[in-house]
Homo-oligomer: A and B are copies of this chain.
Amino acid sequence: MKREELTEKILDIKREKGWTWRHICDEIGGMSDVLIVGALLGQMKLVKPQAAKAAELFGLTKAEQAMLNEVPYRGTGTPMPPTDPLIYRFYEMVMVNGPAWKALIEEEFGDGIMSAIDFDITFAREANPKGDRVRISMSGKFLPYKYYGNQQGVPEYGFEEE
């Protein structure tokens, strides 16, 4: 069984039942919608209680439930560059604005990155007379580059002095 076969099975059930993602996320609960949907699409893992609820909801086998609890090979859900316009627009934002984001984040936080591992994202609809807007709130841990000393042997905690 491959993860994409499980994804296809779940989407078939969703389609036949006429369920929305909201319904599914409410049933499974306990994790953000982005994570639950990501896991059902084969890009994230569900922690055990959520995997159990998903298995119950979709009528999955024991092995399928175990698979939802496994860490998948992430990044397989879209080609890069994305051919789908909705996903491409995010790609474009990174490509066009990446250099400015880098300059501003490094000036404010120092050398480091915003984590793509410990971050949360929420979407909200924002009513607007000129056309509704998608409001995205992201919060990601800043991880400073650690500089280590040059003693041979076991390194101590690195430092971050600017």
Q: How far is the CA of A62 from the CA of B5 in the complex (A)?
A: 21
Main secondary structure of the interface of A (DSSP, over half): mixed
Q: How far is the CA of A120 from the CA of B148 in the complex (A)?
A: 6
- Tell me if A114 and B89 are in contact (CB < 8 A): yes
Q: Does A82 contact B (CB under 8 A)?
A: yes
Which residues in B have their C-beta under 8 angstroms from that of A138?
Answer: 134-138
Which residues in B have their C-beta under 8 angstroms from that of A128?
Answer: 141, 157
- Tell me if B78 and A73 are in contact (CB < 8 A): yes
Partner of A87, one of B25, B34, B99, B117: B99
Which residues in B have their C-beta under 8 angstroms from that of A2?
Answer: 8
**B-contact 0/1 string along A23-42, CB 8 Å cutoff:** 00100011111111110010
A119 CB to nearest B CB, Å: 7
